[in-house]
Structure 1
Amino acid sequence: MTAFAFSTVANILSEPGVTQRLGDIIAERFPGTRRPFIVTDAGFLRTGLLTLPTLSLEQAGMLPAHFSGVIADPPEAVVLDAVDSARRHEADLVIGFGGGSSMDVAKLVAVLAGSAQAIGEIYGIGKVSGKRLPLVQVPTTAGTGSEVTNIAIVTTGATTKTGVVAPQLYADLAVLDAALTLGLPPPVTAATGIDAMVHAIEAYTSKHKKNPLSDALAREALSLLGRNLLPACEQGDRLKVRQAMLLGACLAGQAFSNAPVAAVHALAYPIGGIFHVPHGLSNSLVLPHVLRFNLPQAAHLYAELAGVIVPHASGSEEARAEALIVAMQQTAKMTGIETSLRQVGITENDLDRLANDAMLQTRLLGNNPRELSRDDARAIYAAAL
C-alpha cells in the first residue's frame, strides 16, 4: 500500500436545528469567547436564519458582530474589508455562515485578523505563518465542502482566481444544520449538489494523493448525494433529505481536500470568472465532457463509481464508465438546470479565451488522470456548447 497522509477538521457536529444552540456550543468548546465575528452574505442575512443563532450567542453572554459584505467569487477588497471589520470588533472567534464564498472569507479573516502578514504573502501552498483565531464553519448550501477544506479562493484580477492552501485554514468545528438549507431553491440545490458530486468523482480519480481514506469518503459521499439530490430538488422541505445532502457534501469536501480536484474544476473556473456563472453550475456544464476525455486513463475508476451511482449498470469497464457519465448528464437534465454553455451565454467565439484561461490552472490540471493540452481544453468546451 502506498504511503499517504490525511488531514481534516478537528470536529464535526451534524444535527438539524443545532445552530439554535450555537451559544452553548461555542461556550462549551471555546471557553472564554466573548466577541464572535460572523461572516456571511447579504442574501443569507435577509433570510432571517441568523436571528436565532445570534440570539443564542447573546444569551450565552457574548457580543457577536456580523459582516455581510461577502459576494460570490469574493475579490481581495471584500476579504480585506472583512478583516478590518474583525479587527475593529476585536474578534476572538470567527464563524463562517454561508456557501463557499462566505466560508472562504471566514478562513482568511481568522488567519489575517491577528496577523502581520499581508494577503499577498499567503497566496499559494503553505505560505500562512503563525496561528489564527478559533474558526467555526456553518454551511448553508450542500455543495462546496469548504467547511472541511484547507483552501480559500480569492478573485485577484478581473477574471483570475488565486488559492490559499494551508493547514491553518482547517476549521476547529464544522456544524451541519439542514434547517439552514430548507429554503434553497431547486436550481441552487441542484448546482451545489452536483458540485459536491464532482468533488467526490475527482477525488476518487485524482492522479496525486488518492488514498484509501479519501476513496472511502468519496464513495459514501456519492452514495448520499446520488440518492438524495433529486428528492432535495423536488421536495426541498424534507429535513432528513437535506441533512443527508449536507453530510454528503461534507464527506466529499474531506475527500478532495486530501486528494485534490482536477480538470473539471480547471475548466469550470474560467466559466465562472469570465461569465459569472455560479461555481457549481460551471462544474456541471463541463463534467460529462471531461469525464469522456478521461476515459482512456480512468475508465476502471469510473466503472467502480458507477457501482455507487448506477448499481444496475453492467458489462465492460467502458460500458459501466459510460453509464456513470450518462447518469450524471441525466441528473443535471432532470433537475432542470442549464446543460450547455450556450444556455449561459457562451458562444463559439469565446472558446479560445476559455481554453487559454483553463491552461493557467496548472495546480488543478496536474491532478487529472489524463494529460490535457490547450487543444484538448478547447475541444471539451466545444463539446459542451
Structure 2
Amino acid sequence: MSAGWHPPAQQLIGCDSLAAWLGGRSERRVTVLADPAVAAAPVTARILALLAGEEHRTTLLEISGSGDLASVTALAARLADSDLVVGIGGGSLLDQAKLATLLRTNPDAHARLTVPQRSGLVVLGPGTRHGLPLVAVPTTVGTGTESSAVACLAYPGEGKRLVMGSALRPRAALLDPAATATLDDELVAEGVLEALHRVISPYVGDRADLPTEDALVETIAERLVLLGHEVAAARRAGRPTGDALRLEIAKLSSLSHAEWAHLGRDLYAVKGWLIANEMSSALGVRKMTAVAAILPHLWRAILDGETRLGSEVRLRRLWARLRATAPDVLPEDPAAGAEALVDSWGIGRALSAGPGPLAQIAGRTVRAWGAGLPMLGGLRTDDVYGLLAKAAAA
C-alpha cells in the first residue's frame, strides 16, 4: 500500500474465515503474537492449526506488558523475517502489534515518536506507509483497537500518548467468540460502555447536525444499550454471556471506529474521554471506572450550558432514544440517566482522591491536551478540576 490514506480493516467473522483470507495472499512467513494468558487457549490453537502445513512458516511469540517505545522497537526487530503478523490479545497487545508492524516498515516513524513534546497526541505524517500486514484478533471487547487507526504508547515518567494515523490500521480484524470465552462478565459490561462512550462522545460534543451520520450513531448506540441490558440481565441471573451476545458486542465495538459514524465531526469533540483517560492513568483505576464516574457530571455540565463540552439539544435527543430501551429503569434527565445506566449494568464508579491529587491530574490534563493545544477547546485547569472533584465525590 502506498503512502497516504489506508483502507479500513477487513472484517473476518470466525476463525474459519481466516483460511479463505490467507488463501488470497502471498505471505508465507507468519509471526503469531499472543498474550501469555491466551497463548495456549483454544482460539490460538485454532489459528496455529490454520497456519500449519507447507504453505506457512509460523513462529509464536508471547508478548506481555503495556508497551513503551523501547519494547515496541525491540519487537519490530524481532519481526524482521516476517511477512505477516497475527496478534491475539487485548488492547495492550494489539496496540504493541500495531506499533511494531508500523516501525518494521517505517523506520522514520521512530523519530516521529521521539519528538520532544508536551501534547498527549502524536499524529503520524501523511507519508507514513502501511505497516507490516497485521491480522488483529481481540480477546476483549470495547476498545475496538482491531479496527482503529490509533494506538496507545507508554512514555516512562510521562504516562501514555495516543498515536494516530491510518497507517496503524490492521489489514484484517478477526472476531470470534472463542477469543472472548473466558472474559469476565464485568469486563464484558465495561466493554459495552467503552464502545458506547466512544460512539456517542463526538455526537454530543459536536453541535453540528449531520442527518446521515447522526442516524448511524443513534442506531449503533441504541443497539449497544440493548446489548448492555442483555449482559446485565445475564449477570443478575448468574448466567455467563453467551457466544452470540459477545460476538454482537464485538461487532459493534469494531463498528464504533467506522469513519462514516464520525465523518465531518470535530476531531476533538471527545473532551470527556481525554479527561477520563488521564484520571484512569493517574489513579490507577480501570478506564471504565473513570468514564462511569465522570460521565454524569460531564452531561450535567452540558445541560447547565457548558457549550465547550457539547450540545444540550443533541444530548437530550440522543438520550431520549437510549432511554426508550428501558424507560422504567432510566430517568428522563440525561445526567441522572447516565448514573442509572452504569449502575444497572453493575459497573463501578467509585473513586477515591483528595484535592491535591485531583489538582495534579487537572494540571497534567491541561498540559497534555489544552493550554494552547486544541483538544480541550479552551477548558482551563479550574474547569477540569471541577469535573474531577465531582466525579471523585460521587
Structure 1 and Structure 2 fold alike (TM over 0.5):
yes
Q: Matched residues in 2 for 1:83 and 1:355: separation? A: 35
CA contact (8 A) 1:26 1:33 kept: no
1:103 aligns with 2:94: yes
Tell me the residue number matched to 1:302.
315
Aligned amino acid, residue 176 of structure 1: L
Cα distance in 2 for partners of 1:137, 1:334 equals: 32
Q: TM-score, normalised by structure 1?
A: 0.83
CA contact 1:27–1:60 (8 Å) conserved in 2: no
- In structure 2, do the counterparts of structure 1 residues 363 and 85 end up closer, same or farther at CA, with 3 Å as the change threshold? farther
Does the CA contact (< 8 Å) of 1:208 and 1:367 recur in 2? no
| Distance across 2 between alignment mates of 1:60 and 1:257 | 43
Instruction: Tell whether the 8 Å contact from 1:103 to 1:146 is kept in structure 2 after alignment.
Output: yes
Instruction: Measure the CA separation in 1 of the matches of 2:189 and 2:11.
Output: 24
Question: Once the two structures are superposed, what CA deviation does each residue of 1:306-360 show, in whole Å capped at 9, x if it has no partner?
Answer: 133112799xxxxx99633333322322333321212xxx333311011111113
Does the 8 Å contact 2:42/2:178 carry over to 1? no
How far apart are the structure 1 equivalents of 2:22 and 2:231?
33
Corresponding residue for residue 69 of structure 2: 76
Q: Shift in Å at residue 20 of structure 1? A: 4.4
Which whole-Å CA distance do the structure 1 matches of 2:209 and 2:149 have between them?
A: 17
Who is 1:285 aligned against? 293
State whether residues 92 and 133 of structure 1, in contact with CA within 8 Å, keep that contact through their aligned partners in structure 2.
yes
CA contact (8 A) 1:69 1:78 kept: no
**Residue 107 and residue 152 in structure 1: after superposition, are their counterparts in 2 closer, same or farther (change >3 A)?**
same
Contact 1:149 1:170 in 2 (8 A): yes
Contact 2:31/2:86 (CA < 8 Å) preserved in 1? yes
**Counterpart position of 2:271:** 263
Provide the C-alpha distance between the structure 2 equivalents of 1:304 and 1:8, rounded to a whole number of angstroms. 32
Partner of 1:25: 20
Asked if 1 retains the 8 angstrom alpha-carbon contact of 2:231 and 2:345, the reply is no
Q: Which moved more, 1:125-134 or 1:90-99?
A: 125-134
Cα distance change on mapping 1:216 and 1:361 into 2, 3 Å: farther
Distance, in Å, in 1 between the alignment partners of 2:28 and 2:370 is 40
Alignment check: 8 A CA contact 2:320 2:332 kept: no
8 Å CA contact 2:222–2:325 kept in 1: the answer is no
Question: Which digits, 9 at most, give the CA deviation of each residue in 1:183-228, with x for residues without a partner?
Answer: 2112211222211111011121343998556534422321221011
1:38-89, CA deviations, whole angstroms, 9 ceiling, x for partnerless residues?
33322233544311111111147322223332324x32233123212212xx
Structure 1 gap ranges (5+): 1-5, 315-319
**Cα distance in 2 between the residues matched to 1:114 and 1:379:** 44
Paired residues in the alignment total 363
Match of 2:110 in 1: 119
Alignment correspondent of 1:337: 347
- The alignment status of 1:215 with 2:222, answered yes or no, reads no
Partner Cα separation in structure 2 for residue 53 and residue 209 of structure 1: 44
- Aligned residues of 1:137 and 1:175 also touching (Cα < 8 A): yes
How much does 1:109 deviate?
Answer: 1.8
| Structure 2 equivalent of residue 347 of structure 1 | 354
Aligned to 2:37: 43
- Cα distance in 2 for partners of 1:237, 1:54 equals 26
Give the whole-Å Cα distance in 2 for the aligned partners of 1:334 and 1:173: 34
- Matched position secondary structure for 1:163: strand
Per-residue deviation at 1:230?
Answer: 3.6
Alpha-carbon distance in 1 for matches of 2:370, 2:213? 19
Write the distance in 2 (CA, Å) between the matches of 1:122 and 1:28: 35
Aligned to 1:181: 180
User: How far 1:372 sits from its partner (Å)?
Assistant: 2.2
- Contact 2:278-2:365 at 8 Å conserved across structures: yes
* C-alpha deviation, 1:264, in angstroms: 1.7
5 Å matches for 1:162-201? 162-201=161-200
What corresponds to 1:311 in structure 2?
324
CA distance in 2, matches of 1:247, 1:106: 21
The answer (yes or no) to whether the contact 1:177–1:243 under 8 Å persists in 2 is: yes
| Post-superposition offset of 1:380 | 0.7
CA contact (8 A) 2:370 2:380 kept: no
Q: Deviations over 1:100-131 (max 9, x none)?
A: 22222121122111332252424722336334
Instruction: Describe the SS at the equivalent of 1:58.
Output: coil
**Is 1:238 matched with 2:242?**
yes
Answer whether contact 1:309 1:324 (CA < 8 A) is retained: no
Q: 2 CA distance for matches of 1:70 and 1:211? A: 42
Moved more, 196-205 or 260-269: 260-269
1:159 touches 1:270 (CA, 8 Å); kept in 2? Answer: no
Which residue identity does 1:126 align to in structure 2?
L
